[in-house]
Chains A and B, each alone.
Chain A
Amino acid sequence: NAGVTQTPKFQVLKTGQSMTLQCAQDMNHNSMYWYRQDPGMGLRLIYYSASEGTTDKGEVPNGYNVSRLNKREFSLRLESAAPSQTSVYFCAVVPGSGGIPDTQYFGPGTRLTVL
């Protein structure tokens, strides 16, 4: 049981390049989330998916797109990377479909550097 997995673990991009961060879970949970973590800023919500087929914007969605491919997978895409997107990205999953707060299970993170 891997829980929540994220790929890649590390990535270096040049300004303007695109890439997709992958998140997969084997916990059969409904809700999935993408956060970014910057020094001194805590975790900030980028996008979330309360259930398969739905996605919504979080606090800092600009410059990102997401796809909830199926119940297991939730990807985050940077179409044209900028240095301001240098960060550590975390995927999280929650048992419910929203409305009732519950434990969030986090993946190990992807460390992204944009030059």
Chain B
Amino acid sequence: GENVEQHPSTLSVQEGDSAVIKCTYSDSASNYFPWYKQELGKGPQLIIDIRSNVGEKKDQRIAVTLNKTAKHFSLHITETQPEDSAVYFCAAPISGYALNFGKGTSLLVTP
């Protein structure tokens, strides 16, 4: 099945700086790559996703890039704010239905 590796496991940045989280996947047939944000005590929530027919997608301060050749995709958060502090998960499809999640990155944005 799909194997998703996520790095780093923890990330601390100062408010206003950028944060980058990277994930690699193993199945070259994978075609959908979402990113979820989980705040303390809550369930994960989709923040952005990308499909394999594009290389980059942006939504305000958040962007995702995809390199299908290298089989990795990254989450970029610019102008970080304290409310961006959370755990972020990447994921890739398991046979096109459920998702295989990375182990998560705990992001801390300090004022």
- Chain A residues proximal to chain B, CB less than 8 Å: 4, 31, 33, 40-45, 48, 50, 58-59, 90, 92, 98-101, 103-109
The count of chain B contact residues (Cβ–Cβ below 8 Å) is 26
Residue of B nearest to A48 (CB): B98
Asked whether, in the complex, the Cβ of A103 is within 8 Å of the Cβ of B89, the reply is no
Asked whether, in the complex, the Cβ of B46 is within 8 Å of the Cβ of A104, the reply is yes
Asked whether, in the complex, the Cβ of B49 is within 8 Å of the Cβ of A43, the reply is no
A40 to B41, CA, bound (A): 16
**Chain B proximity of A43: nearest CB distance (Å):** 4
Residue of A nearest to B97 (CB): A98
Asked whether, in the complex, the Cβ of A48 is within 8 Å of the Cβ of B43, the reply is no
Partner among A44, A59, A99, A109 whose Cβ is within 8 Å of the Cβ of B97 = A99
Residue of B nearest to A47 (CB): B98
Residue of B nearest to A106 (CB): B43
- Among B41, B46, B97, B102: residue with most chain A CB under 10 A: B97
A42 to B101, CA, bound (A): 6
Task: Known contacts A42-B89, A43-B89, A101-B93; decide if A90 and B46 are in contact (CB<8 Å).
Answer: no
**Chain B proximity of A10: nearest CB distance (Å):** 11
Q: Does B61 contact A (CB under 8 A)?
A: no
Asked whether, in the complex, the Cβ of B96 is within 8 Å of the Cβ of A98, the reply is yes
Partner among A43, A45, A50 whose Cβ is within 8 Å of the Cβ of B44 = A43
